[in-house]
Amino acid sequence: MKNKRWYLFLLLFPCVTGKAQVDLKSAEALIKRVIPQHASHFRAEALSTSAPADVFEIESRKNTIILRGNNGVAIASALYYYLKEYTHCQITWNGTNLKLSQKLPAVPAKIRRTSPYTYRYYLNYCTFNYSMSWWDWARWEKEIDWMALHGINLPLAITGQEYIWHEVYRSLGFTEEDLKTFFCGPSYFAWFWMGNLDAWGGPLPQHWMESHRDLQQQIVARERALGMKPVLPAFTGHVPAAFTKLYPTSKLKKTNWGNDFDDTYILDTEDPMFATLGKKFLETQTKYYGNSHLYSADTFNENEPPSDDPDYLASLSKKVYEGMRSADPDATWVMQGWLFYSDRKFWKGPQIKALLDAVPNDHMLLLDLATEIEPVWKRTEAFYGKPWIWNMLHNFGGNISMFGRIEGVAKGPSQALHDSASGQMKGIGLTMEGIEQNPVLYELMTDHTWRDQDIVLDAWLPEYILNRYGSKDAHALKAWQILRTTVYNGKDIRDGAESIIAARPTFESGRRWAKTTLNYPAESLLPAWDELMQAIPACKDYDGFQYDLVDVTRQVLANYALPLHQSIAELYIRKDTIGFARETEKFIQLIDDLDRLLATRKDFLLGKWLEDARRCGITKEEKDLYEQNARNLITLWGGAGNRLHEYSCRQWSGLLSDFYKPRWQQFFQQRIIAARQRQPFDQQRFDEGIKAWEWQWVTAHTHFPEQTTGNSIDVVQQLYQQYRAAIEASYSTMK
């Protein structure tokens, strides 16, 4: 036990060992986890290099594949490079192909790759809730392996932060009662950490804090063992509402995030307690989680500062940095550049420059958080000289939608890298709000890690399909050329469209949150569906193909709901009750069929999300609280009247049948009643009633399956026969 504690100490505090060494045991353990039956055919070796960039080599020696790297990430990347290029395998969240032959192909000549990017960043605050709220160590271990295989070396690491704050505030004299209205529930930590809300979804049990302290220690220890540098949080001023009770003369700014949650309180950077708290937080955090000298801090996330005076903003920024530096003289501030994108009316050139210039260039790193949507670096003189990272945001809210800017992602990073105006571009990153969707975009983006030129999609896509489907089937290739120019063309809309099914029921487009505008004509996706159906004989045995077939079918059916909905609305206006009844029955049947389709894949199960939440608790009260958090986030997001309802909507089996379907049934039934009584339909009254029903669903405890039901191929073939002609006819009618 003593040796185990010492090993963990070395991982949390690598600086005590002197010059960093390649942890070959950790790299070898990763190889065994990824390909346990073939691990004996590989050997990991350390590669010495004086260059700051990561590098790997691969070569054959007799019957062994040698994987060399200057750290564990480089060695893991070498493994994945070999698996993709020589055995045509693939590892994604949504489909894995590791069909390796007993005799592995030899590497004809030594391969050497050097990354042009010092940093490869990963994660967004929001990812920790939209996707990771209920992860245990087994799931985190799998993700860290994925990160290493894909070249990630700079992961955001904010699990367990609530434990540190609890320690800090208790040491200052705050009582448990004081903190009960501070810590939120586990589904909402991202917005709690960023100062947007307090308490919602709580109170937070002590067991959660302690278990996630332990989980964070495992996370950062493994990341460091593989050569990653975890980015830990720093203090930006968010304090409990009870702060004035202990510090009555403190300077606080009361702020509110959209009037849907209670006020939160931000401590003024000029207040003496700001520096005290900042230092105490980092010292406590370092005690438990170690130190990479990299700290994430975002001031006024989606909340405007009280003044746009550049001098004020410079002073604020300087104080935040000094708070880090007081505890760690080598601190580097890692800032999400989201505020410069989301609130451009406030953050103009002088304001941005003042905020950034107050911190030395070599102690700040900017994340251009949504570069593929809008490159902020281009309107800020490359962040006025600061080192920065080109990021793909891609997904908002963890929504399920086929979408992406595939052409821009293929070219954007390398074009910026070679642009003389890009200043200190130091890396690339993934900053999506939710993961476990659209795997093609993430394979594409991470493929930039070991190259400095544009990715040519005409060559890249066939290799991607071979690795994913086990074949360069002609029909599969045609399908992907269609997907490339439809769902993945990235035009017209910011992020993926949602289905009308997930919208709170109405015939009035201005009343719903769900966005249904597509970036392509809906009928243009049908040929991709046709081609994938014809690819079934050649590709059906591959997990990635089965996922893609289900996902394309899901997207086609989800799109079809919109013309069906429009037809229903027109029939109601014409008072065609027979036609209305017929079409509403089709709409409800469509939801049932979508639910049945998605039940065939683990990727689309509500039951897994809810049961994972319950497993985090050790008492019935804790389990019920976590389940309510899990239900709330993906439906109402907050209270019954919250403006963010459906922001994190999911097309999942169980959610379709038990939440979206009953809402639409109630809507259609009440519409019929109003028509029969020759009364105008009261949409506002319906909304109020359905909000109450939605809250009942959020607080319920119905069980949903965690295991899949049915065969994906069989169900898709049935639905294709059932819907293909009707869908095409519906679009022809709309024209």
pLDDT band per the 50, 70, 90 thresholds, residue 6 = very low
What sign for the dihedral angle of Cα 166, 627, 664, 552?
A: positive
pLDDT at 513: 66
pLDDT at 13: 54
Average pLDDT over residues 713-732: 96
pLDDT at 260: 82
Q: Per-residue pLDDT for 51 more than 80?
A: no
Q: Per-residue pLDDT for 687 more than 60?
A: yes
Estimate the crossing angle of helix 543-573 against helix 577-598, to 10 degrees: 170
pLDDT band per the 50, 70, 90 thresholds, residue 492 = confident
User: Which is more confident, 5 or 28?
Assistant: 28
Query: Taking every pair of C-alpha atoms in the chain, what is the biggest distance, in angstroms?
Result: 85
Q: Per-residue pLDDT for 152 more than 80?
A: yes
Question: Over the stretch 319-360, which tens digit does the pLDDT of each residue have?
Answer: 999 999 999 999 999 999 999 998 889 999 999 999 999 999
Q: How far is CA 68 from the centre of its chain?
A: 31
pLDDT at 509: 76
Taking alpha carbons only, the member of 38, 39, 36, 74 closest to residue 58 is: 74
pLDDT band per the 50, 70, 90 thresholds, residue 17 = very low
203 cis-preceded (ω within 30 degrees of 0): yes
Positions of E strands within 201-288: 232-233, 238-239, 252-255, 264-267
Query: pTM of the predicted model, to two decimals?
Result: 0.96
Q: How far apart are CA 671 and CA 362, in angstroms?
A: 63
Q: Per-residue pLDDT for 217 more than 80?
A: yes
Average pLDDT over residues 393-397: 97
What does each C-alpha distance from 268 to 73, 252, 316, 347 come to in angstroms? 40, 6, 8, 20
pLDDT above 90 as % of the chain: 90
Residue carrying structure tokens 């169900």: 715
Question: What one-character DSSP code corresponds to residue 379?
Answer: G
Q: What are phi and psi of 64, to 5 degrees?
A: -120, 140
Give per-residue burial for 7-42: e unless 16+ CB within 10 Å, then b.
Answer: eeebbbebeeeeeeebbeebbbbbbeebbeebbeeb
Q: How far is CA 608 from the centre of its chain?
A: 17
User: Which is more confident, 162 or 298?
Assistant: 162
Q: How far is CA 280 from the centre of its chain?
A: 30
Residue carrying structure tokens 């208790």: 170
pLDDT at 735: 63
Q: Per-residue pLDDT for 651 more than 70?
A: yes
What sign for the dihedral angle of Cα 313, 314, 316, 320?
A: positive
Q: How far apart are CA 428 and CA 418, in angstroms?
A: 13
Enumerate domains of the chain plus CATH numbers: 20-114 (3.30.379.10), 122-438 (3.20.20.80), 496-518+536-734 (1.20.120.670)
pLDDT at 302: 74
pLDDT at 299: 80
SS3 at position 648: coil
Taking alpha carbons only, the member of 114, 164, 115 closest to residue 295 is: 164
Q: Per-residue pLDDT for 481 more than 90?
A: yes
User: Which is more confident, 185 or 323?
Assistant: 185
Indicate the average pLDDT of the chain.
95
Q: Which of 1-10, 135-144, 502-511 has the lowest mean pLDDT?
A: 1-10
pLDDT band per the 50, 70, 90 thresholds, residue 1 = very low
Q: Which of 511-515, 627-631, 653-657 has the lowest mean pLDDT?
A: 511-515
Is residue 697 within 8 Å of residue 631, measured between CB atoms?
A: yes
Average pLDDT over residues 207-227: 98
Residue 641 contacts by C-beta under 8 Å, 6 or more apart in sequence?
Answer: 260, 691
Element (H, E) at 640: none
Strand partners, 56: 69, 113
pLDDT at 19: 45
pLDDT at 257: 87
Q: What are phi and psi of 97, to 5 degrees?
A: -120, 105
Using left for φ > 0, alpha for ψ between -120 and 50, and beta otherwise, residue 13 falls in beta
pLDDT band per the 50, 70, 90 thresholds, residue 258 = confident
User: Which tokens belong to 154?
Assistant: 């700079």
Q: What are phi and psi of 226, to 5 degrees?
A: -90, 0
Q: Number of helices and strands (H, E) in the chain?
A: 28, 17
Q: Per-residue pLDDT for 203 more than 90?
A: yes
Question: Over the stretch 514-555, which tens digit does the pLDDT of each residue have?
Answer: 789 999 999 999 999 999 999 999 999 999 999 999 999 999
Q: How many CB atoms lie within 10 A of CB 669?
A: 11
User: Which tokens belong to 137?
Assistant: 């160590």
User: Which tokens belong to 38?
Assistant: 């073939």
pLDDT at 11: 54
Q: Which of 71-75, 418-422, 490-494 has the lowest mean pLDDT?
A: 490-494
Q: Per-residue pLDDT for 615 more than 50?
A: yes
User: Which is more confident, 302 or 352?
Assistant: 352
pLDDT band per the 50, 70, 90 thresholds, residue 456 = very high
Q: How far is CA 340 from the centre of its chain?
A: 20
Read off the amino acid at residue 93: W
pLDDT band per the 50, 70, 90 thresholds, residue 512 = low
pLDDT at 310: 96
Q: Per-residue pLDDT for 117 more than 60?
A: yes
Strand partners, 154: 121
Is residue 591 within 8 Å of residue 656, measured between CB atoms?
A: yes
Please compute Rg for the chain using Cα positions: 26
